Amino acid sequence: MGEPDHHVFSSSSNPAGAALVPLYVSGVFRETPLSFRAQLIETLMRPMGALGLVAVANGVFAAVRHRHGWERLQVTLDDTARITADQVLELASYLQQAAPEVFRQVGELISSQPAVASGVSAVLLLQLLRIGRRRR
């Protein structure tokens, strides 16, 4: 998919796009099966440090990381069933400021699964990520 322009996620350079990315990510989470949700959460959690995980969504993601050990990132289907789309929205909003490059990986994950990539939120997110890439 290539690397998108990170400025598309900046509220100063594109306020509408910046606001939509976390919304679409949470929409993808809401619209997909548990197995894909686990992959999405792992992708979003990967760049997060312990402090960030504790600070976001009342620590729900830190609890997941702690439950399975800090050495290896693993999100189970049971973990995924306990996580809400609002918590994913909060995580994506945090990442938009802290590690916007993660959205390239999210786009690649979505694109790798045609059934997921055809969902409304996925289509909109992928389109937004492509817009950012074209602006380079």
User: How many alpha carbons fall within 13 Å on the CB side of residue 96?
Assistant: 25
Residues 6+ apart with CB under 8 A from 47: 95, 98, 99, 101, 102
Specify whether the CB–CB gap between 125 and 25 falls below 8 A: yes
- On whether residue 73 sits in a domain, the answer given is yes
- On whether residue 1 sits in a domain, the answer given is no
| Domain total of the chain | 1
- On whether residue 29 sits in a domain, the answer given is yes
Specify whether the CB–CB gap between 8 and 135 falls below 8 A: yes
Please state the pTM of the whole predicted model.
0.85
Question: What is the domain range of residue 75?
Answer: 6-134
- On whether residue 109 sits in a domain, the answer given is yes
| pLDDT on residue 1 | 39
For the segment 66-123, what is each residue's pLDDT rounded down to a tens digit?
988 878 899 999 999 999 999 999 999 999 999 999 999 999 999 999 999 999 999 9
Average pLDDT over residues 33-51: 96
